[in-house]
Amino acid sequence: MLTAYDFPTAKILDEAGVDVLLVGDTVGMVVQGHSTTLPVTMDQMIYHSEMVGRAAQRAMVVVDLPFPDGQLDILHSVKCGARVLKETQCHAVKLEGGAEQAERIEAMVRAGIPVMAHIGLGPQSVHVLGGYRLQRDIDRLVADAKAAEAAGAFVVLIECVPSQAAAAVTEAISVPTIGIGAGPDVSGQVLVTHDIVGLTSGYTPKFTRSFGDVGLVMREAAQSYCQEVKAGTFPSDAESFE
């Protein structure tokens, strides 16, 4: 699973064989330039989800409910989830939280909205957690995962926990787990696309890896364009109309 926020990127990832595309509220950080995911709105999530949903031919597409749409009253969250299914071609939503979200997950699934739970580090709670910190409480993680599964979540995503804790969670439930900063002993992995292709600058978390440098390719293409325009070699006759 990888994140996608726009049509061309989603098309490339879909064609590359990524099984699940996540329209994550990390769009607020890696696209909008904010330092947290908190400013992202439901309307913005719908806007990006429309583009990704149109591009995906084979991948499942999951959409984050942003803050505080996944925390307000349950009927509000059900309506937001329904907007995702009705206004975009995406398939499911993701909700941060475990046991405290069980009632909400249940209501959404009952309404026909598939829910991926997201436990461990929940970036929407960064100010309660006191930073983007490793979540070590195994008993709580297992209890959260079990509550989410019992409520009807089809996958439990686990963020920023020790590998042993993610393994214990994966062992404790029968739906798949997807890890980010959660080690190898999970059913699947997710990363933020911009982080792995060189499109984020500055700090990147320990758990990500550079798999390519699209940023460098773009920088070089832009520099070549500027040089050719200044040198008068762009546009050529072939690139002009008579």
Binding site for ligand KIV (CB under 6 A): 3, 22, 24-26, 64, 157, 159, 180, 190, 192
Measured between alpha carbons, how far is 209 from 205 in angstroms, rounded to an integer? Answer: 9
Please tell me whether 139 is known to bind a ligand. Answer: no
Please tell me whether 213 is known to bind a ligand. Answer: no
Measured between alpha carbons, how far is 39 from 107 in angstroms, rounded to an integer? Answer: 26
In DSSP notation, 135-184 reads ---HHHHHHHHHHHHHHT-SEEEEES--HHHHHHHHHH-SS-EEEESS-S
Please tell me whether 25 is known to bind a ligand. Answer: yes
Please tell me whether 69 is known to bind a ligand. Answer: no
Report what 115 binds from Na ion, ligand KIV, none; CB cut-off 5-8 Å by kind. none
Which residues here bind Na ion, judged by CB under 5 A? 24-25, 64
Measured between alpha carbons, how far is 223 from 214 in angstroms, rounded to an integer? Answer: 14
Q: Residue 171: CB partners within 8 Å, gap ≥ 6? A: none
- Residue 118 CB, nearest approach to Na ion (Å): 7
> Any catalytic annotation for residue 159?
yes
Report what 192 binds from Na ion, ligand KIV, none; CB cut-off 5-8 Å by kind. ligand KIV
Q: Residue 206: CB partners within 8 Å, gap ≥ 6? A: 181
List beta partners, residue 120.
Answer: 159
Among 50, 87, 103, 159, the active-site one is 159
- Residue 26 CB, nearest approach to ligand KIV (Å): 3
Name which of 28 and 53 has its Cβ closer to Na ion: 28
Measured between alpha carbons, how far is 147 from 50 in angstroms, rounded to an integer? Answer: 31
Please tell me whether 26 is known to bind a ligand. Answer: yes
3-state DSSP call for residue 118? strand
Name which of 106 and 159 has its Cβ closer to ligand KIV: 159
Name which of 202 and 222 has its Cβ closer to ligand KIV: 202
Catalytic residue set: 159
Binding residues for Mg(2+): 25, 64, 96
Binding residues for 3-methyl-2-oxobutanoate: 25-26, 64, 94
